[in-house]
Structure 1
Amino acid sequence: MAVRIENLTYTYPNHRRGLVDVSLHIKKGRKTAVLGVNGSGKSTLLYHLNGTLVPQRGTVQVLGTPVTAKTLREIRRQVGFLFDYPDHQLFSTTVYQDIKFGLDNYGYPETEKQDRILQVARQLDIEHLLDYPPFQLSLGQKKRVAIAGIMVLEPSIIACDEPFAGLDGYSAVYFKDLLDTWVRQGKTIVFSTHDVDLTYAWADDVIILREGRVLQAGPVGEVLTRREVYAEAGLIKPMLLDLFEDWDVKPKNITDAKQYLSRRR
């Protein structure tokens, strides 16, 4: 299991309850969506996965290691975190220095740092940007740089807060393909979203939150086909699921739907 959470409760300094008695698990090597309306606790949950927030009550275990103040260094090496807006995590004078920051913190030799940076930069097609200031880049390029800073440390889990926010169609498809590649390599992806259609078409598992509590959790095909979940969570049924509600199949994406309809001609 990638993540185990038991009875996790978190209250912010303004007394707002971020999470209330949350218990769940996240499987290795899968894409898990944390789904809910604004203010449901999605980001708060993700912040606990890499120790940005430490449990006030309850426990969080990542790959068998409890998240505590003493384990943060190892936890953050295992869990890369991608913020919703990359400006929140880009701050160096060049792209190269930004990607190098995590490697500096963990004391890698200079030759290995350079090798890792160049390898990831080639993979993400940003090698030509290494000498650029990050603030001069487009949003899509900034996202690639932020991900590069995560991937040079080779984490086992990648937590993404609204990973497709603000991206154009091409960039969104690029990042989905990239994350799919990492899942095939055995990595675990956990991402927050309010997009039910994206969750239905792309995620393997889903955790639905409402006001800091878990309403439903499990495989997407099981959870999102339960009619009662939408009114309870304040969500709208995925378009494809709505269109095929009375059919004997439930295609998850447009490609599956087209293939099914073509066979019925």
Structure 2
Amino acid sequence: MVIKIRDLSFTYPNNRRGLINLSLDIESGKKTAILGVNGSGKSTLLYHLNGMTLSQTGSVEVLNMEVKEKNLRRIRQEVGFLFDYPDHQLFSTTVYRDIKFGLDNYKYPEKKKDERIRKAARDLRIEELLDYPPYQLSLGQKKKVAIAGLMVLEPSIIICDEPFSGLDGHTLLYFKELLNNWVKEGKTIVFSTHDVDLTYEWADNVVILREGKILKSGVASEVLTKDETYLEAGLVKPMLYDLFQDSEYKPKNIKEAKEYLSKKFVY
């Protein structure tokens, strides 16, 4: 397991409980969804995974390193974090400088920095944007720049807070393909979402939070095919699961559904 959490609790300054005695293992090389309604503790949990928030009680271990002040520099090189709103991590005068910022912190040779920046720009199809100021970009372009800033450090774990929110259909498909390719390369993706349809279609594993506690966790195809899961979590059923609930075949996406229906209703 690349991430091990034991008895983690967190209380906000206003005495609201954010996380309550949470224990969890996250598997390497998988896409793990942290699913729940707003206020369930999803972002609070993610912030503990690279030390943006340090544990008050309990422990968090990432790649066999405890998430503590003394290990944060190394952990943050291995654990990239993509915020829900890319404006929270874009602040330089040009896209090139924004992507370069993390490399500057880790004192890479200048030639190596430029090679990594331009490779990331090619991979994310933003080469023509390198001289642009980030404030002139669209949301999708900003997210690509934010991801490029993570990928130049070549992290093995990528944490995404609501990675697909606000994206148009084509950009969303592109991001899913990009993240799929990273998982094929052996990287681990942990993402928060309240989107049950996305989780049902795309996640390998799922952790469902409610009021700071783990309600259910396990393989997504098992957890998300139990009706009681949705009642307890306050979530609606994924559309495809609801539609095919009484069928012997349960497609995970529109393509699979269309293929099944075309064979089922051949005259």
- In which range does the TM-score fall when normalised by the shorter chain? over 0.9
Q: Take 1:261 and 1:166, find their aligned partners in 2: how far apart are those partners?
A: 31
- Name the SS for the 2:225 alignment partner: coil
Q: Take 1:194 and 1:137, find their aligned partners in 2: how far apart are those partners?
A: 26
- Name the SS for the 2:61 alignment partner: strand
Larger displacement relative to structure 2 (240-249 or 190-199): 240-249
What residue in structure 2 maps to residue 114 of structure 1? 114
Mapping of residues 80-229 of structure 1, within 5 Å: 80-229=80-229
1:2 maps to a residue whose letter is V
State the Cα distance separating 1:187 from its structure 2 match. 0.5
Measured against aligned partners, the alpha-carbon deviations of 1:206-249 in whole angstroms (never above 9, x if no partner) come to 00000000000011110011111111100001111111111112
Give the TM-score of the pair, scaled to structure 2: 0.98
State the Cα distance separating 1:133 from its structure 2 match. 0.4
> What is the percent sequence identity of the aligned residues?
68
What residue in structure 1 maps to residue 257 of structure 2? 257
State the Cα distance separating 1:76 from its structure 2 match. 0.4
State the Cα distance separating 1:147 from its structure 2 match. 0.2
Mapping of residues 3-82 of structure 1, within 5 Å: 3-82=3-82
- Name the SS for the 2:91 alignment partner: coil
Give the TM-score of the pair, scaled to structure 1: 0.99
Q: Take 2:8 and 2:176, find their aligned partners in 1: how far apart are those partners?
A: 30
4+ residue segments displaced more than 3 Å: none
State the Cα distance separating 1:263 from its structure 2 match. 2.3
1:167 maps to a residue whose letter is L
What residue in structure 2 maps to residue 238 of structure 1? 238
- Name the SS for the 2:170 alignment partner: helix
State the Cα distance separating 1:84 from its structure 2 match. 0.2
Q: Take 1:165 and 1:226, find their aligned partners in 2: how far apart are those partners?
A: 26
- Name the SS for the 1:176 alignment partner: helix
Q: Take 2:256 and 2:30, find their aligned partners in 1: how far apart are those partners?
A: 20
- Name the SS for the 1:22 alignment partner: strand
State the Cα distance separating 1:262 from its structure 2 match. 2.1
- Name the SS for the 1:71 alignment partner: helix
Q: Take 1:148 and 1:142, find their aligned partners in 2: how far apart are those partners?
A: 10
For structure 2, the residue ranges without an aligned partner over 5 or more in a row are none
Q: Take 1:2 and 1:253, find their aligned partners in 2: how far apart are those partners?
A: 28
State the Cα distance separating 1:63 from its structure 2 match. 1.2
State the Cα distance separating 1:173 from its structure 2 match. 0.7
State the Cα distance separating 1:64 from its structure 2 match. 1.2
Q: Take 2:252 and 2:27, find their aligned partners in 1: how far apart are those partners?
A: 20
State the Cα distance separating 1:18 from its structure 2 match. 0.9
State the Cα distance separating 1:80 from its structure 2 match. 0.2
Q: Take 2:129 and 2:31, find their aligned partners in 1: how far apart are those partners?
A: 29
Measured against aligned partners, the alpha-carbon deviations of 1:117-143 in whole angstroms (never above 9, x if no partner) come to 011011101111111100011111000
Larger displacement relative to structure 2 (8-17 or 144-153): 8-17
